[in-house]
Chain A
Amino acid sequence: MPTYKARAIILKNYKLGEADRIVKMYSDEGHLISAVAKGCRKTRSRFRGRLELFCLVDLELSEGRNLDIIGQAEILNCFSDIPMDFYRFVFAEIISNVILRTQQSGDKNPSLFKLLYVCLNEIDKTEPEDVIGLKKILCFFEARFLQVTGLAPMLETCSRCNKSTADLYRLGNEKIGFSIDYGGVLCRECSPATGARVELNPSSYRLLVDLFRLKIEDLRSIEIDPYSLRKVCRLMEDYMVFHTYCTVNSFKYLKKIGI
């Protein structure tokens, strides 16, 4: 059987049979890989603890008939603080879920791997129960996910008529229209004429623009009011669901756990 090496982040584990697991992961080359780890649930397995969720691992795989088989696994980074706080775990799962639901095994997107790594690393470092910090990271992830998959909304020009909207960021004390269908912001003329639009207040609009241009470490330090954060998070998710046809509903789960 031909073998190959891969560096990947583990996104999901399923039990298979008595002692095996199916591991779904995302590689640094930007592939979704599904492989079997034989006997990995046994306490004495050589994989034990090496194929845990969110771990970055170096793997040796052999091509199998249906699924590839993991021969060896070495941990490079395991983000071990994520499971120490339930909220960190929830946000890391939501991010993993977006990748699992939108990427096919044939796709190739190395930038998405980098984004995943950066976001998990950031989640790992948040203070316990820092829900605002985690929501910022989710917002950032969703925005940059759209960017690296070529689905970024238009923010500099009107998505309906293409007129520049650069002045909206600087002046803005009025509401700014955003259309999920057209795929971006609307100018003063188009906004009232567009039926299904989301109205953003100036601070929500500024946050939206910042998500696409700031580094994650700069985002960490800026003050964002909870209203704008919620509004933009929701908008990014609705936008993503509309343009990728995937079903992600993080808000439903967050409500379930009371945040």
Chain B
Amino acid sequence: MPLYIKSVEKLINEFRKLPSIGPKSARRIVYYLLKQTPEQVNNFARSLIEMKEKVRFCRLCRNISEGDICHICGDTSRDHKKVCVVEDVGDVVLIEKTGRYRGVYHVLRGLLSPIEDIGPEELGIPLLMERVRKEKVDEVIIALNPTVEGESTAMFIKKMLSPLGVRTTMLASGLPVGGDLEYADEITIGRAITDRREI
């Protein structure tokens, strides 16, 4: 005999596919939904579908957008001569939250990977180059994770941009605020020494 009725089991399995949701949490969510009014569940389902129907990717920067162009690219008060390259949509939000950046973005939505067969086309790198050329961008800030994969992708972008004569910078990588030198790894300490600045 099956443990759950079919429709419940089907929904549990759908939730289990979501990131960081295990079987226990999936069951908990489904029980919660069972207790809700039909209207509440309807709202939930409708927002899922609406999100998928409405969200597109900006044709200039590949960020999520409801129109052809996202709200950042469409904002004329921003500095369109600075482009910040990030790995994912979520990174845009992180940088926006700092309130320190007024330029535009290019969202790769992944990193270069021979193992996963992800090349420059898949990350819109030709699109970035076209933007730099057309808009006469004066600085590209590469804000990728300081991992082997992130750095290799950064190196490739830098190499592709160098004939265009645009200034290319990378986020400083060093010791975390509140961190202790003793607990930092060798690579981080090495990097912090190389990227040291005048005080």
Contacts and interface: CB of A to CB of B under 8 A. Distances in A.
B7 interface: no
B165 interface: no
Contacts of B104: none
Interface in A32-69: 43-44, 46, 48-50, 52-54
Interface stretch (B46-54, B75-83, B114-122, B133-141): B114-122
Contact of A83 (B120, B155, B183, B188): B155
A70 to B, nearest CB: 14
Interface string A67-99: 000000001001010111110011001101100
A188 B15 CA distance: 64
Given A80-B187, A80-B190, A257-B120, A53 B114 contact: no
Contacts of B121: 256
A250 B115 contact: no
Nearest to B183: A46
A251 to B, nearest CB: 11
Nearest to A84: B155
B115 A49 contact: no
A85 B121 CA distance: 19
Mostly, the A contact residues are mixed
Contacts of B149: 13, 53, 83, 89
Nearest to A85: B155
Contact of A48 (B112, B178, B188): B188
Nearest to A101: B115
A18 interface: yes
Contacts of A250: 114
A28 B188 CA distance: 26
Contacts, number: 77
B2 interface: no
Given A80-B190, A89-B152, A253 B119 contact: yes
A100 to B, nearest CB: 7
A50 B187 CA distance: 8
A44 B179 CA distance: 7
A252 interface: yes
A256 B120 contact: yes
A97 B148 contact: no
Contact of A86 (B20, B112, B176): B112
A191 to B, nearest CB: 35
Nearest to B19: A17
A75 B185 CA distance: 8
Given A49-B185, A257-B120, A82 B176 contact: no
Contact of B185 (A48, A84, A256): A48
Interface in B144-199: 147-149, 151-153, 155-156, 159, 176, 178-179, 183-188, 190
A237 to B, nearest CB: 13
Contact of B188 (A18, A49, A96): A49
B155 A75 contact: no
A136 interface: no
Contact of B156 (A12, A78, A86, A252): A86
A43 B176 contact: yes
B114 A90 contact: yes
Nearest to A41: B145
A53 B114 CA distance: 13
State the 5 A-B residue pairs at the shortest beta-carbon distance, nearest first: A89-B152, A49-B185, A256-B119, A53-B148, A83-B151
5 contacts: A53-B149, A93-B115, A94-B114, A100-B115, A253-B117
Given A44-B179, A86-B153, A252-B117, 14 more contacts: A44-B176, A49-B185, A52-B148, A52-B187, A82-B148, A86-B155, A86-B159, A89-B155, A93-B114, A94-B114, A97-B115, A100-B115, A256-B120, A257-B112
